[in-house]
Amino acid sequence: MTKVEAIKRLMQDNGGLASWKYIYDNIERYYPAAKSSSEWEAGIRGVLYREIKNKQNFKRVGFGIFALEEYQEEKQIKEIRKDRVRMHSYMEGIMVELGN
């Protein structure tokens, strides 16, 4: 399984979207060798950003939150805001984006 396929499966398991934290914490479930290099997080970010840039498989739906290309944003974003755990990841994503 490739990194793209692994990220796609993670998002499918999580209702169509995922935060960086969710991806980092669960990537080994589908891609066991993901954390084998010292810069493994950068490799995952690179794959995800490349796919988004090429408009394939994924899209950005918020700060640090990504979704499958076919994901319907309207309903799900409201649910994220109600869920405190996801809200934490959402706010964490905003802070990362501001820092960049």
CA distance 63 to 96: 8
Strand partners, 18: 66
What mean pLDDT comes out for the span 20-49?
92
Give the model's pLDDT for residue 74: 57
Burial of 45 (0-12, 13-18, 19+ CB in 10 A): middle
What mean pLDDT comes out for the span 93-98?
79
Q: Is the pLDDT of residue 78 over 90?
A: no
Question: Whole-model pTM?
Answer: 0.70
Q: How many domains does the chain have?
A: 1
Residue numbers of the domain that contains 17: 3-99
CA distance 15 to 100: 28
The pLDDT-based confidence of 92 (bands split at 50, 70, 90) is: confident
69: tokens are 């290309």
Give the mean pLDDT of the chain: 84
